[in-house]
Copies of this chain bind each other. A is one copy, B any other.
Amino acid sequence: MTIGFVGLGLIGGSMAIDLRRRGFADSFLGVEKDPVNAAAAVKIGLVDEAVELDELIDRSDIIVISVPVGAAVQILPQILDVFQQKGYKDKTVIDVCSTKAQIVRGVHYHPMRKRYVATHPMSGTEYCGPWAAMPNLFDGRACIFANTEESDPKAVATIEKLYACLNMRPTYMNADNHDVHTAYISHLSHVTSFALALTVLDKERDEKHIFDLASGGFSSTARLAKSNPEMWVPIFMQNRDNLLQVIDTYISKMQQFREAIDDYDSEKVYDLIADANRIKKIIR
């Protein structure tokens, strides 16, 4: 089995590491437009060869699109076009992007739609590039499969095996629900981290002081603010409507705190915190 990765960054690279050492495939190819990243990915051993897109499509059984979602929505139909032109009926293409509605909508009427499986492995770090790839990144996390009814059941089964090899728990939902859920559970966290970093950086011109005083709590809350704009701008743009709604709810919660603190209303602040504490039951 040969797997081809379009995009050799954190996600594609980390998938390649575990799929290779766990024996899911024996040949790994990559397309990577940045020449430094391409050379590094080969040198690190994430893939055996960096090739052009056409060659990758010809030689791969499974093609994984692991580039930012703005590029992914353009590459996916190109790959399905090649499937059609060359009569490739057994190859499967997947994407691993953080928004799903626009990418599935873009190929909804494509004659080769059934060869595409929309997925979102819910894992990552704040780092990017092939050097950020790491083993075990996906172990125990959820992988969302979106709109599987539009895909060939055999293609879905193949991709289920791929994610089972990455030790992921499959979850099935439609693309629109996915985008609502991820707005809450992932995209909002990134906006709040970016805003937190900007607030502190603005104030504390003396950066030494921040470094000195930053305790584990701040580092944890601001960690996602290290995330790459290349990846996050298209996510925010594609999930604009859901995200705006979530941001509004969030700002209103911040304002509830603000008012209660302003009023010295310690009972109200206590209730808000105790209510927020319910998250204990949910996150480790």
Contact = CB atoms under 8 A, between A and B. Distances in A.
A256 B236 CA distance: 13
Interface in A238-279: 240, 243-244, 246-251, 253-258, 261-262, 264, 266, 269-270, 272-279
Contacts of A264: 237, 240
Nearest to A274: B229
Contacts of A196: 188-189, 192, 250
A233 interface: yes
A204 B246 CA distance: 12
Given A249-B199, A278-B201, A213 B144 contact: yes
A218 B273 contact: no
Interface in A214-249: 214-229, 232-234, 236-237, 240, 243-244, 246-249
Nearest to A255: B251
A222 B279 contact: yes
A194 interface: yes
Interface stretch (A11-19, A30-38, A178-186): A178-186
Task: Give the number of copies in the complex.
Answer: 2
B284 A201 contact: no
A186 B215 contact: yes
A212 interface: yes
Given A184-B199, A251-B258, A254-B191, A224 B226 contact: no
A1 interface: no
Nearest to A269: B233
A2 to B, nearest CB: 29
Given A192-B192, A266-B233, A273-B227, A212 B258 contact: no
Interface of A: 122-126, 141-142, 144, 169, 171, 181-182, 184-186, 188-204, 207, 209-229, 232-234, 236-237, 240, 243-244, 246-251, 253-258, 261-262, 264, 266, 269-270, 272-284
